[in-house]
Structure 1
């Protein structure tokens, strides 16, 4: 059983106000029913952590916590105002993507609380390396959320592509849903792959934020074999 001491060995940066951790895939940040999560494991050892943002259980990499509520508010406001810079690494299938791309597709929440594109799949249009839908195709019967992801291809074959993906907005499951709906799902993603054999190949790679008057950039190298 993984203990909090094991996660303590994965700390990237820490001071008396923040803790940045390289989270392994398969571990929740907080709030998972019937399972231990990072916040709960830390609390059991007398450490109080306040998540500043979330990454999915299946996603590995950089996660930022505040150690004090007086610090937490200023950090979360940066995420709300989109002054934080985030970059992820993702392995998708198949290859054949343009060197750079922009996915400008609104999201909505459908049945069973599943995130989806807020328009019919057949209405998605690719033009000048940008995926969009006409305004007339966007659903008007549910709440919709403008969402943009940009990417750069680091390497690719006919079967796979390694991307650096940047979420310009911070919607739940945004990168996973955007890539899947343009026909390039992330390898091992249980949202779109039945009974995946291995991990989900999405990694929170880099995070930049302001802390105590300085711009801080932290990185978590992808796990061995990720690429």
Structure 2
């Protein structure tokens, strides 16, 4: 794995470089053991790096245990990240019972790739993967600090009076059913919506801050706009949940510039 050092890391140490990517002690220990190289010369973690240097390393990452040979649809790929399309009615990762999941399929071809986020079983759209530990550590930190922009497109019931708005209801687990609910004792959740087409069936874009389980579904149902096809929180009409993860934006781990990708729904 090679990285060309840009001006933002000039004069910093090798360890500072890895700390910027939020690499944990486990990986730092492996790097120290197996070697980090600057311009093909092995260096220690306290070595000062310069703009234009080529930093390289090669550590043995654990391969995924759950793999399944199946088709995957790659929407975007470079040497650091992978964006894969998920059909509705597929889990992102194994749940202890179902072996055929998106991640087990991805890991058949990319044994070190790790998903950065999840989308619901019934939801279609993109799933982002880090292809190696450095990208995964960096993207996980962006995810944890709410620095990844996530936008969904959905169809929901009933016309809107307000064409733009924020939904800030807290969300908690329903103790009586296998679902979520709005609760003052729940965890913070914010959904920002904008109506694209208003009507008996409305087309809406929603940006989520954070990402609680079933957040958009719970929030839309709470304002009397349940998503079409939602059997848990709506009327259960239609063959599928009309919810699609359509846009993602984040700082790319290699270029350190804003990266945006779109995936249009088929509804």
Which of the five TM-score ranges fits, normalised by the shorter chain?
Answer: 0.7 to 0.9
> Distance between the aligned counterparts of 2:121 and 2:157, measured in 1?
21
SS at match of 2:71: helix
User: Is the contact made by 1:89 and 1:202 (CA closer than 8 Å) also made in structure 2?
Assistant: yes
- Contact map agreement 1:30 1:37 (CA 8 A) in 2: yes
**Is 2:257 the partner of 1:214?**
yes
Q: 1:160 to 1:194 in 2, by over 3 A?
A: closer
Q: Which residue of 2 aligns with 1:104?
A: 168
Asked if 1:69 corresponds to 2:133, the answer is yes
Contact between 2:155 and 2:201, CA under 8 Å: does it hold in 1? yes
Mapped contact 1:12–1:218 kept (Cα < 8 A): no
TM-score, normalization by structure 2: 0.68
| Uncovered stretches (5+) of structure 2, i.e. residues with no partner | 1-67
User: Judging changes above 3 Å, is the alpha-carbon distance between structure 1 residues 116 and 43 closer, same or farther for their aligned structure 2 residues?
Assistant: same
Structure having the higher Rg: 2
User: Aligned partners of 1:56, 1:69: CA distance in 2, in Å?
Assistant: 25
Q: Aligned runs of 1:75-224 on 2, under 5 Å?
A: 75-111=139-175, 112-118=177-183, 138-139=184-185, 144-157=186-199, 159-193=200-234, 196-211=237-252, 212=254, 213-223=256-266
Which one scores higher on RCO, CA 8 angstroms, separation ≥ 6? 1
Task: Provide, for residues 20-73 of structure 1, a one-character-per-residue CA deviation record: whole Å limited to 9, x for no partner.
Answer: 012221221112423410111233446332110011111111210111122111
Provide the residue aligned with 2:91 in structure 1. 28
Partners of 1:97 and 1:201 in 2: how far apart?
Answer: 21
Q: Equivalences for 1:30-69 in 2 at 5 Å?
A: 30-32=93-95, 33-45=97-109, 47-69=111-133
The CA distance in 2 between the partners of 1:4 and 1:87, in whole Å, is 30
Preserved contact between residue 110 and residue 131 of structure 2 (Cα < 8 Å): no
Q: What's the TM-score, normalizing by structure 1?
A: 0.80
- Compute the RMSD of aligned alpha carbons: 1.9
| Count of aligned pairs between the two proteins | 196
Moved over 6 A (4+): none
Note the C-alpha offset of 1:197.
3.4
Q: 1:45 to 1:114 in 2, by over 3 A?
A: same
* Equivalent residues of 2:166, 2:191 under 8 A apart: yes
Instruction: Provide the rounded CA distance (Å) in 1 between the counterparts of 2:71 and 2:125.
Output: 15
1:66-99: per-residue Cα shift (whole Å, max 9, x none)?
1112211110110111111111101100123411
SS in 1 for 2:233: coil
**Gapped runs of 5+ residues in structure 1?**
119-137
Q: Which residue of 1 aligns with 2:13?
A: none
Query: More displaced, 15-24 or 147-156?
Result: 15-24
